Amino acid sequence: MSSIFEGFLSSSEGLQAFGDRSFVQAMLQFEASLARAQAAVGLIPESSAQSIIGTCKVDLFDTAKVVRESARAGSLAIPLVKSLKETVGLFNPAAVAHVHFGCTSQDAIDTAMALVTRDALDLIEADVRKAVNALLELGTLHAHTPMLARTLMQPASVTSFGFKCVVWAAPLQRSLQRLHVARPNALKLQLGGTVGTLSAMNGKGARVSELMAADLKLTAPPVSWHTQRDEWVALGCELGLLTGSLGKIARDIVLMSQAEVGEVAEPVEPGRGGPSNMPHKHNPVASMVAIAASQRVPQRVAALLAVMPQEHERALGAWQAELAEWPQLVISAHGSARALAQALPGLQVDAQRMRGNIDAVRASVSKAEADEWFQPGLAKHAGDLALAQLQLMRELL
């Protein structure tokens, strides 16, 4: 998952959430929950369930070996279940037949992906809230700080930096609201068995599904979603929108922090943003991370949409492609959110330079134009709008 180039565009927590060990542990959580639920409804003996549950500990498995063997098997679940059966058999041979009973590889993998994605979403949402809170503080502090608005990359009229902060924060808050809806819809237990009907569970599949969903704190779906990927992909699309909004903020910061403009700057930290041989430079590396994510994520979202037409009851290739794209999408989204959550609270705002840039443009136009487009009242108007919106946004947090 990680590489020398991926590492600095991501967060260690995001990479860890989708790391081999974390994912295998999540699959073992599924297997333990399955055994627990099946014993509760009488499908398997309690003694077998206890043996399986006691063995579902990632430290008992050679994760690297499981990952290596998955390439040959065509599924991560196949070598893991094989190893689980072998390990259970060392302590309770009678329980081997009850390992992974009545389900299929995709059940374990999709559920594990939902579990690790939930952890990553917690990280993303926490960092987006930090970014929003920082923007609300900046917006309040600089509600009436005049600055040039820019349209088509050229100086336009006067706005306020506080109003710009509102424009940055509003899409992030909307993303949080949409994620609140998309998250429970997507983070569902997957349990369908070989063809989605749970036929091997003797009519007790629905109850097993309910018990497992409660145990794993996932949504219980009415039916399996093996090839029904709409709500899962919808969550991916929401992460794409969020990353685009973060990238927009980063792009503006980069443009405003150019030396020739000099209106804002990312916080200075030892060892961060310094060039290799030009001590006068301070590179906006947080914005760089967010922009890189916004340029990579659309292709991930497009891939998720492209593989939605999946064959019959189990996909050949499409689901596997989705599995490869999903972690990179989520990791990029978190890398972007984390970067701005760290940079925005310490963003340096040069109000004097903002005023100077207004004065320079004002001096280049006629008095009539200057009086119309660069009057002080425009910043006050923008600031009043900003304060009203900031109040509404605080109430929604």
Question: Domain spans of the chain?
Answer: 1-103+189-224, 104-188+225-397
Mean pLDDT value across the chain = 94
Q: What are all long-range contacts of 372-375, with beta carbons under 8 Å and residues at least 24 apart?
A: 373/156, 373/157, 373/158, 374/157, 374/158, 375/158
- Structurally, at CATH architecture level, domain 104-188+225-397 sits in Up-down Bundle (1.20)
Per-residue pLDDT of 358-377, as tens digits, reads 999 999 999 998 888 888 89
Query: Which tokens hold the place of 366?
Result: 């006629």
pLDDT computed for residue 397 by the predictor: 78
Token pair 């009907």 in the structure block, residue: 197
Per-residue 3-state assignment (H helix, E strand, C coil) for 166-198: HHHHHHHHHHHHHHHHHHHHHCECCCCCCCCCC
Per-residue pLDDT of 274-288, as tens digits, reads 554 556 567 999 999
Per-residue pLDDT of 227-270, as tens digits, reads 999 999 999 999 999 999 999 999 999 999 999 999 999 998 76
Amino acid at 173: Q
How far is 80 from 50, CA to CA, in rounded Å? 18
pLDDT computed for residue 275 by the predictor: 53
Show the low-confidence residues of the chain (pLDDT under 50).
276
1-103+189-224 carries CATH number 3.40.50.1470: no
Name the 3-class secondary structure at 155.
strand
pLDDT computed for residue 2 by the predictor: 57
